[in-house]
């Protein structure tokens, strides 16, 4: 190209002095005709070159790229990993692509890309979301065409799934560093304090799941955008714990938080010399002189400590999560060095139990290892790929025998050509097999089958829901395939897909593994699968937050030792196999059309006969009182939809909902998909299995009488001793250790008279009832009183076992080191009434959270 331009210029360049000009008497100074044509040709070539090869900045030092991964470099396995790529382009405009490669099963790679347009002299921050990779390093590249403009390698510090990740937005970078030495109830856990900046708070709420707690202290909330605020609010609603601290900087900290988040309406501040209620609650005095606290009025939630009428410590539930309001500055004296922190923070973490991490630290790790492989099995259960019916196969088999047996024999005998059988029989057999193959291939083999299994987690009073979808694509005649998802969804290839088995891996490490899929992020998410075995299954996980997903309405109350009322389907979908349940019972509601209501009359009870989860028991055909040896407790449903439902419950819903902790939960399934999941219709046949879940609110009295069944007010673990403690989705495994549980009664004992109180701690099997060692805390003596374990519950007749604020504590473990106890949980049943002249107003509750006595 350069030589072509040079030759063109030489066409009108004089031998010695540049451009030649023919000057005649009638046209002085004008360019000759040949020179003009050449000049126009050069201009045309230059414009064409500029259009075909736009200017790009080269990686020669002009363009700089910085990458931050995770939250201050920290991240948790199994969560979408945020990448913030900041590019400074002082040179020409760049139309490029950001690329990140992740490792899948150490045998394949997935390429994640997004467009990156950089005008001249611009500085931009790009965000990408990639799944956690087994590799420790991520190579981020900026390419333009086939040219690499910049490259950066980053390595996140991965936290243990059991660690409590505490993000801190504060003016002082050292705020809460001392919590790194905090002792939590489970000895396997610790707190990791992560300091954050406003620009690195993601606008995608799902990415915030790397954090369990977010503390905002002496920080200007105006630096957060509306999208970031909405992401934090949604994160709280889905189970996060947000701590908002006041003090002298309350105005800049509280100024922009929405009313749905703020439990206190703050209107000023004042100086105090102490907080007696807080000091009494956590058994430690505040030293030093005067300090500033914020003042306001309680709007909602539970006031745990106050200074007069001014709230000092408030907890309020927001969806599945909690917001903690503190009236003081955590980084200022005397709170920065207060010894009460060692009791206050474990108490707050235990109360809020963010993401179920305090009571069930092992569940997430267990489910992360199982979920991919289990869901891959579910996706392969495609109705359209079922085997032919037994009648059709039997008919073909009989026809085959008749034709190649007596039929052919009689024909050859009639023709007197029995020797032809050596040729005719193999030929007819081949023809039969080819015909059957082509008939089956024409009927099903050429279709593209897409199986979509989705879990939609609804919450009362929330306008959003988390939707986790698993897509399995089976394209028997296509080695290349593409799936388009609506919106910028968080996508991860399931690790158990073996569609790349037939590929050749060059080299010896995962960096040389083949790229099995390319995920392009942007307005929509496009997944292009690389060439693979034609008969392979492509499996993908996509996570998103959907707006206006519908809801499950409930009008429920406790009455006569059970839960009664109605549940209404407001999802707009027809739901089948609907169930309401908790840890101690379930009730099948059957099929529910949109807008349909069903009566609930659930009586939870203790049963040692059938320990299988309810989602197995609900499809069993035998009586539940059969002896254990005579039945399969984990019998699968007979219909494909039931089997999908059970698998999804087993690896996702059961552990996620935390059946040990919830008062009551609704589950139902639909054969309709989520609106807006796919950006375009898939070719072939698409099958949907969508499961909806929702926590249900339950009012705790009926007409002034109180009759709480088990499972409505549940205990929470506040301490553990020994190494033999593990919690899964069904309960607690106690081996060579003890666990202390605390039950907080949801009533003010000054207003309520208790007639009967039973403490229940059911175990998994009847033989374990003799292995349990149990003690109840005596609030009068300050000692633990050993009591005989009762499998159906221990009646607490001594009022010393209940504190003046309605707190009960019980310590449970195995009697001997070689014995093992599986504990379903700790709960109570209660009967009582309001004292004469005391007004009552019981609000529906999801968790039954209430005050507690002094620690």
**CA 816 from chain center: how many Å?**
38
Domain co-membership, 260 together with 173 = yes
In a domain, 94, yes or no: yes
In a domain, 59, yes or no: no
pLDDT tens-digit series, residues 484-516: 898 888 998 886 444 433 333 333 345 677 888
DSSP state of 127: E
Peptide bond into 334 cis (omega under 30): yes
CA distance 810 to 578: 35
In the prediction, which pLDDT does 144 show?
A: 92
CA distance 116 to 142: 8
Residues 6+ positions from 681 with CB-CB distance below 8 Å: none
| Strand ranges across the sheet with 827-834 | 705-708, 827-834, 752-760, 794-795
Q: Are 126 and 153 within 8 A, CB to CB?
A: no
In the prediction, which pLDDT does 205 show?
A: 93
Domain co-membership, 153 together with 74 = yes
CA distance 742 to 90: 61
Secondary structure, 3-state, 585-639: EEEEEEEECCCCEEEEEECCCCCCCCCCCHHHHCCCCCCCCCCHHHCCCCCCCCC
For residue 782, what are the domain limits? 705-834
Domain co-membership, 204 together with 352 = yes
Domain co-membership, 741 together with 829 = yes
pLDDT tens-digit series, residues 278-337: 999 999 999 878 999 999 999 999 999 999 999 999 999 998 899 999 999 999 999 999
Domain co-membership, 418 together with 352 = no
In a domain, 438, yes or no: yes
Domain boundary pick from 684, 699, 714: 699
What's the rounded mean pLDDT across residues 473-479? 72
CA distance 577 to 589: 7
CA distance 743 to 710: 12
DSSP state of 407: I
In the prediction, which pLDDT does 47 show?
A: 40
In a domain, 312, yes or no: yes
Write the CATH number for 239. 3.40.50.880
Domain boundary pick from 132, 157, 182: 157
Percent of the chain with pLDDT over 70: 77
Domain co-membership, 255 together with 378 = no
CA distance 156 to 430: 59
Bridge partners of 726?
Answer: 733
What distances in angstroms separate CA 194 from CA 179, 214, 655, 838, one per listed residue? 11, 9, 27, 48
In the prediction, which pLDDT does 533 show?
A: 58
Domain co-membership, 468 together with 451 = yes
Cβ atoms < 10 Å from Cβ of 417: 11
Domain co-membership, 548 together with 660 = yes
Q: List, as one string, the DSSP characters of 562-589.
A: EEEEEEEEESSS-EEEEEEEETTEEEEE
Domain co-membership, 767 together with 687 = no
**CA 94 from chain center: how many Å?**
36
What's the rounded mean pLDDT across residues 513-535? 82
Residue 819 main-chain phi, psi, to 5 deg: -110, 155
Domain co-membership, 95 together with 193 = no
DSSP state of 649: I
In a domain, 258, yes or no: yes
What's the rounded mean pLDDT across residues 756-780? 92
Residue 785 main-chain phi, psi, to 5 deg: -100, 120
C-alpha angle 248-251-257 in degrees, rounded to nearest 5: 130
CA distance 289 to 269: 17
Lowest-confidence pick of 452-461, 488-497, 582-591: 488-497
**Packing angle between helix 421-440 and helix 408-415, nearest 10 degrees?**
140
Number of domains in the chain: 6
Write the CATH number for 128. 2.60.40.10
In the prediction, which pLDDT does 34 show?
A: 54
In a domain, 847, yes or no: no
| Strand ranges across the sheet with 562-570 | 597-602, 562-570, 551-559, 698-699
pLDDT tens-digit series, residues 603-636: 988 876 655 666 666 665 544 444 444 444 445 5
pLDDT tens-digit series, residues 330-359: 999 999 999 999 999 999 998 998 988 887
According to DSSP, the β-strands at 138-144 and 94-104 are antiparallel
Domain co-membership, 440 together with 454 = no
What's the rounded mean pLDDT across residues 28-48? 47
User: What 3-state class would DSSP assign to 369?
Assistant: helix
In the prediction, which pLDDT does 639 show?
A: 67
In a domain, 638, yes or no: yes
Domain co-membership, 412 together with 462 = no
Domain boundary pick from 399, 426, 444: 444
Bridge partners of 311?
Answer: 306
In a domain, 504, yes or no: no
**CA 669 from chain center: how many Å?**
19
């Amino acid at each position: 190209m350069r030589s072509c331009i040079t030759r063109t210029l030489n066409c009108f360049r004089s031998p010695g002095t540049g451009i030649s000009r023919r000057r005649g008497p009638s046209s002085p100074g004008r360019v000759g005709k040949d020179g003009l044509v050449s000049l126009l040709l050069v201009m045309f070539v230059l414009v064409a070159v500029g259009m075909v090869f736009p200017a790009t900045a080269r990686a020669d030092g002009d363009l700089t790229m910085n990458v931050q991964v995770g939250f201050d470099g920290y991240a948790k396995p199994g969560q979408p990993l945020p990448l913030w790529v900041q590019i400074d382009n002082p040179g020409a405009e760049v139309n490029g692509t950001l690329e990140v490669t992740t490792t899948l099963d150490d045998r394949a790679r997935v390429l994640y890309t997004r467009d990156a347009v950089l005008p001249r002299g611009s500085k931009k921050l790009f965000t990408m979301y990639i799944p956690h990779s087994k590799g420790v390093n991520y190579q981020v590249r900026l390419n333009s065409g086939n040219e690499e403009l910049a490259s950066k390698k980053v390595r996140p510090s991965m936290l243990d799934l059991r660690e409590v990740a505490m993000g801190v937005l504060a003016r002082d970078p050292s705020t809460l560093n001392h919590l790194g030495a905090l002792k939590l109830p489970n000895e396997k856990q610790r707190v990791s304090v992560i300091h954050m900046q406003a620009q690195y708070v993601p606008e995608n709420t799902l990415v915030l799941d790397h954090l369990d707690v977010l503390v905002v202290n002496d920080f200007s909330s105006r630096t957060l955008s509306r999208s970031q605020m909405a992401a934090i609010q949604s994160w709280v609603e889905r189970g996060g714990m947000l701590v908002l601290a006041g003090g002298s900087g309350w105005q800049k900290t509280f100024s922009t938080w929405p009313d749905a988040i703020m439990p206190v309406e703050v209107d000023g501040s004042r100086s105090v010399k102490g907080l007696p209620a807080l000091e009494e609650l956590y058994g430690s005095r505040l030293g030093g002189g005067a300090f500033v606290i914020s003042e306001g009025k309680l709007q909602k939630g539970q006031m745990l400590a106050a200074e007069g009428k001014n709230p000092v410590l408030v907890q309020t539930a927001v969806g599945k999560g909690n917001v903690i309001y503190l009236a003081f500055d955590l980084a200022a004296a005397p709170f920065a060095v207060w010894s009460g922190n060692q009791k206050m923070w474990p108490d707050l973490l235990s109360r809020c139990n963010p993401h179920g991490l305090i009571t069930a630290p092992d569940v997430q790790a267990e489910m992360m290892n199982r979920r991919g492989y289990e869901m891959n099995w579910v996706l392969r259960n495609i109705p359209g790929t079922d085997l032919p019916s037994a009648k059709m196969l039997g008919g073909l088999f009989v026809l085959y025998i008749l034709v190649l047996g007596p039929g052919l024999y009689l024909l050859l005998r009639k023709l007197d050509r029995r020797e032809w059988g050596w040729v005719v029989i193999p030929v007819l057999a081949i023809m039969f097999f080819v015909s059957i193959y082509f008939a089956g291939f024409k009927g099903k083999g050429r279709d593209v089958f897409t199986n979509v299994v989705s879990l939609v987690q609804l919450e009362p009073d929330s306008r959003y829901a988390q939707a986790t979808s698993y897509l399995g694509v089976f394209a028997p005649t296509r080695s290349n395939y593409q799936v388009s998802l609506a919106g910028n969804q968080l996508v991860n290839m399931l690790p158990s897909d073996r569609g790349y088995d037939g590929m050749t891996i060059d080299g010896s490490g995962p960096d040389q593994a083949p790229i099995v899929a390319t995920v392009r992020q942007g307005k929509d998410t496009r997944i292009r699968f690389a060439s693979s075995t034609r008969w392979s299954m492509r499996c993908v996980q996509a996570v998103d937050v959907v707006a206006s997903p519908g809801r499950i309405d409930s009008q429920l109350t406790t009455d006569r030792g059970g839960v009664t009322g109605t549940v209404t389907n407001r999802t707009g979908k027809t739901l089948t196999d609907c169930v309401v349940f908790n840890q101690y019972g379930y009730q099948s509601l059957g099929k529910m059309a949109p807008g349909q209501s069903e009566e609930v009359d659930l009586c939870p009870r203790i049963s040692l006969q059938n320990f299988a989860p309810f989602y197995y028991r609900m499809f069993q055909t035998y009586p539940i009182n059969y002896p254990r040896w005579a039945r399969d407790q984990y019998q699968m449903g007979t219909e494909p939809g039931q089997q999908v439902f059970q698998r999804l419950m087993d690896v996702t819903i059961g552990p996620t909902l935390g059946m040990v902790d919830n008062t009551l939960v609704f589950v139902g399934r639909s054969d309709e998909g989520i609106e807006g999941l796919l950006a375009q219709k898939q070719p072939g046949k698409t099958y949907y299995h969508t499961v909806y879940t929702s926590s249900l609110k339950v009012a705790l009295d009926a007409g002034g009488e109180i009759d709480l069944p088990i499972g409505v007010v549940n205990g929470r673990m506040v301490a553990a001793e020994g190494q033999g403690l593990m919690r899964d989705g069904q309960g607690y495994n106690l081996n060579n250790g003890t666990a202390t549980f605390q039950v907080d009664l949801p009533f003010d004992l000054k207003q309520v008279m208790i007639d009967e109180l039973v403490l229940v701690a059911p175990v998994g099997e009847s033989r374990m009832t003799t292995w349990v060692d149990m003690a109840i805390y005596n609030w009068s003596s300050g000692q633990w009183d050993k009591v005989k374990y009762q499998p159906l519950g221990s009646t607490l007749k001594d009022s010393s076992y209940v504190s003046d604020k309605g707190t009960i504590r019980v310590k449970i473990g195995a009697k001997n080191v070689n014995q093992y106890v599986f504990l379903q949980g700790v709960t109570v049943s209660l009967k009582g009434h309001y004292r004469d002249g005391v007004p009552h107003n019981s609000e529906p509750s999801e968790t039954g959270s209430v005050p507690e006595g002094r620690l």
